[in-house]
Chain A
Amino acid sequence: MQPHMKRVVMLLVIAIIGFISVRALVVPDSFGQYGWYRGDSVADNRNNQIGHAESVSCSEENCHKTIYKIWVDSGHKTVNCETCHGPSQDHVSNIRITPQPADDSREFCGKCHFKRVARPSSFPQIEPEIHGENLKCAYCHNPHKPWFI
């Protein structure tokens, strides 16, 4: 082989080896583990903290069993505890962390129950101007068992 060709080939080999070693250093180990992405990222996404526990965790350990039993047969049984009371996982794992009390304002109940044109007509709605004289809803209705107090 002619000397100048040898030099070109040598340079090419050095360039390829350089590319491979730099790439091996820069690209994370788990890249390409499952596909063209960093495999460890799946675990990162899985390890996020849970905020909302389930409603059943409220009745476990007999904590809120009474109110849970009332709610579970009520007209509000499709409304989970955390829909109104907010995320509770912190409180479930450490009872010393007390969650914010549920919003009992008319506006909060109205997010579901004020009359709105776009709502399905079969859904129970009230006219906020003429219903209840600006009293809090819970004055007449039990939010855990609506209609029958």
Chain B
Amino acid sequence: MNISRREFNKIGFRVIIGAVAGKVIIEKLVVTKGIAAENSPKDGYDWKEHLWGYLVDTRKCIGCGRCANACKLENHVPFDEPVYRTWVERYRVLKDDEVKIDSPNGSIDGFEDDIPEEDIKKAFYVPKICNHCEVPPCVQVCPVGATYTTEDGVVLVDYDYCIGCRYCIQGCPYGARYFNMEKGTADKCTWCYHRITRGLLPACVQVCPVGARIFGDLKDTESEINKILDKERINVLKAELGTKPKVYYIGLDREVR
């Protein structure tokens, strides 16, 4: 192709002008209401003022399963299916150093002692829940943007937008997600987002009879959770994965995964 300098410049400038104009048009058409991004959801709750956190004191948990029960009732999780937003695991280290981990019906029916006490070296309960990671692998793998982290640090699912591909369920290293057959979407703990944004506690925290679960605002320096985090020796699950969980644990054993 033979082309003069003048002709080349002409085409070049057209391309540049076209690219700039195109970008403006796309922004006008597609990224509508860019200004609305400044506002948080209405009715007095400003999600920029909060960063929610969760603390589990495994030393207090008695494995009654009221948390898992209340969670299912509050959030309409299919009650008779083996899916849970929160559950309690029982760890039993036997005298021969074998570790038995179980959670029959997510702890809702309680636990039965099926191993004689003489064979057990130590035993304890560990409540589990979505960790609402700062770097959530489940959000990263969603192909349609149907799961996301809110400004106040809660990982939620968009049930209208989810296509039910289950990538997020596989992506979660904590097994905190499940497939909701009634909705046909992935589902997970929301820290009872409908409750905490109205000033209530998550249902599991509220019904815990021994105060093993503590919920609060990490941005509020006076909150109970911050006072405990400043004082106690805390840990998170699978810290080596770099997901930065916001569920903190007191009294984690090395066997807990």
Contacts and interface: CB of A to CB of B under 8 A. Distances in A.
A46 B195 CA distance: 8
A116 B70 contact: no
A59 interface: no
A23 B113 CA distance: 58
Contacts of A24: 29-30
Nearest to B62: A119
Interface residues of A, number: 52
A130 interface: no
Given A20-B25, A45-B156, A117-B113, A52 B207 contact: yes
B191 to A, nearest CB: 10
Contacts, number: 147
B66 interface: yes
B22 interface: yes
A43 B158 CA distance: 10
B131 interface: no
Interface string A87-101: 100000000000000
B195 A118 contact: no
Nearest to A110: B110
A42 B151 CA distance: 10
A95 to B, nearest CB: 20
A112 interface: yes
Contact of A111 (B66, B159, B200): B66
Interface in B183-218: 190, 193-195, 197-198, 200-201, 203, 206-211
A1 B26 CA distance: 27
Interface of A: 1, 16, 20-21, 23-24, 27-39, 41-52, 54, 76, 78-80, 82-83, 86-87, 107, 110-112, 114-120, 123
Closest 6 CB pairs between A and B? A41-B158, A118-B123, A37-B148, A48-B194, A79-B209, A51-B74
